[in-house]
Amino acid sequence: MTKQRLLPFLALAAALVGHGAARAETYTLQATPQTVEWGHYDPAAKPVLTVKSGDTVIIHTLITNSPQGLEKAGVPASQVEDSLKAIFDHVTDKGPGGHILTGPVYIDGAEPGDTLEVKIVGIDLAIPYAYNAFRFGSGALPDDFRYGRMKIIPLDAAAMTARFAPDITIPLHPFFGSMGDAPPPEIGRYDSTPPNIIGGNMDDRALVAGTSLFLPVWVPGALFEVGDGHAGQGNGESDITALETSLVGTFQFIVHKHTGLDYPMAETPTAYIAMGFDDELSGATRKALHHMLDFLVAQKHMTRDDAYMLISVAGDVEVTELVDRNKGVHVVMPKAIFTGP
């Protein structure tokens, strides 16, 4: 990633939103056997919806578990979504991952070398429960828990809390564990589990409503998919699951032309976020630091020495997730420290 090719975040985004506002449309995409991809991002996937830059799509997503598994854990059959049952009954093209992803959405005009901005306008709970589970051989402590357990956790949409136990109440911050686009054609079908250059299963709790995710475009139309809804999560997602649930997301898609961005980044109302994914935590950390360095040099016109120092005195290096084969790390730089443009 070179300094000439990095994405100028807010200024360009605001200009494009204003330019396209008059012609923008809003669509709704349900999760059905015909509108989901199970466990993969694929450059050859057939789009289920085509939109233009500036358009908004309300996307329904489904919990990553089976109807039988939910009922066995204590969810009443009447609370298991019919759409989830239909997908388990009728979708046969599965894997290699386990996530049910709604899409792909084709964004007209997006071409390789562009950046797709995914503005997360809103996220709503779809069902009144979540689950958390661990299983033998997974999570950050596989040798400590040589068995599996699943817990159903009630959600209160009015209070935006989860009742983990009679004396434990958790504030909710809904986000999508997996948001990504199709990989380059030479990669082919990509497992939905490990995050990478396409975004995907980032499990980044910072990507809540009001945030923009910036994804490199690798194929025409980008082919965006989303799923793995989380009502909340701790950084690291230590046992391999969060507050897993079904969510409805409202997204605005904006194409930024010829940026050359080659790795996912994000922007919240208060911070810039650089990401890194690698099978080693140290490798993920180095990638995230390098991407923040590049951003500060290109967008804030800093020397590389000063940028490195600024990260050390004002940036937060955080573990995003530990459990998706590729580890995730992000660097958060607060906007408030910059008094200039």
User: The tokens of 329 are what?
Assistant: 């790390």
How large is the angle between the packed helices 304-314 and 281-299, nearest 10 degrees?
A: 120
Rounded CA-CA distance 268/318 in Å is 15
DSSP-derived 3-state class of residue 322 = coil
Planar angle of CA 167, 205, 203, nearest 5 degrees: 110
pLDDT (tens digit, 9 = 90+) per residue, 31-73?
Answer: 999 999 999 999 999 999 999 999 999 999 999 999 999 999 9
Please measure the distance between the N-terminal and C-terminal CA atoms of the chain and give it in whole angstroms: 22
Rounded CA-CA distance 200/220 in Å is 18
The rounded mean pLDDT for the chain is 94
Instruction: Provide the pLDDT for residue 338.
Output: 97
pLDDT (tens digit, 9 = 90+) per residue, 78-124?
Answer: 999 999 999 999 999 999 999 999 999 999 999 999 999 999 999 99
Backbone angles phi, psi at 206, to 5 degrees: -75, -15
Average pLDDT on 315-330 reads: 97
Instruction: Provide the pLDDT for residue 13.
Output: 41
What residues pair up with 225 in beta bridges, in sequence order?
Answer: 180
The one-character DSSP state at 171 is E
Q: Catalogue all structural domains in the chain, each as residue range(s) with its CATH number.
A: 3-262 (2.60.120.580)
DSSP-derived 3-state class of residue 298 = helix
Residue whose C-alpha is closest to residue 284's, from 321, 313, 314: 321
Rounded CA-CA distance 186/206 in Å is 31
DSSP-derived 3-state class of residue 131 = strand
Average pLDDT on 119-130 reads: 98
pLDDT (tens digit, 9 = 90+) per residue, 224-282?
Answer: 999 999 999 999 999 999 999 999 999 999 999 999 899 999 999 999 999 999 999 99
Backbone angles phi, psi at 326, to 5 degrees: -75, 125
Residue whose C-alpha is closest to residue 197's, from 335, 43, 54, 300: 43
Do the beta carbons of residue 100 and residue 148 sit within 8 Å?
Answer: no
pTM: 0.93
Do the beta carbons of residue 337 and residue 212 sit within 8 Å?
Answer: no
Instruction: Provide the pLDDT for residue 22.
Output: 52
Residue 128, preceding peptide bond in cis (omega within 30° of 0) = no
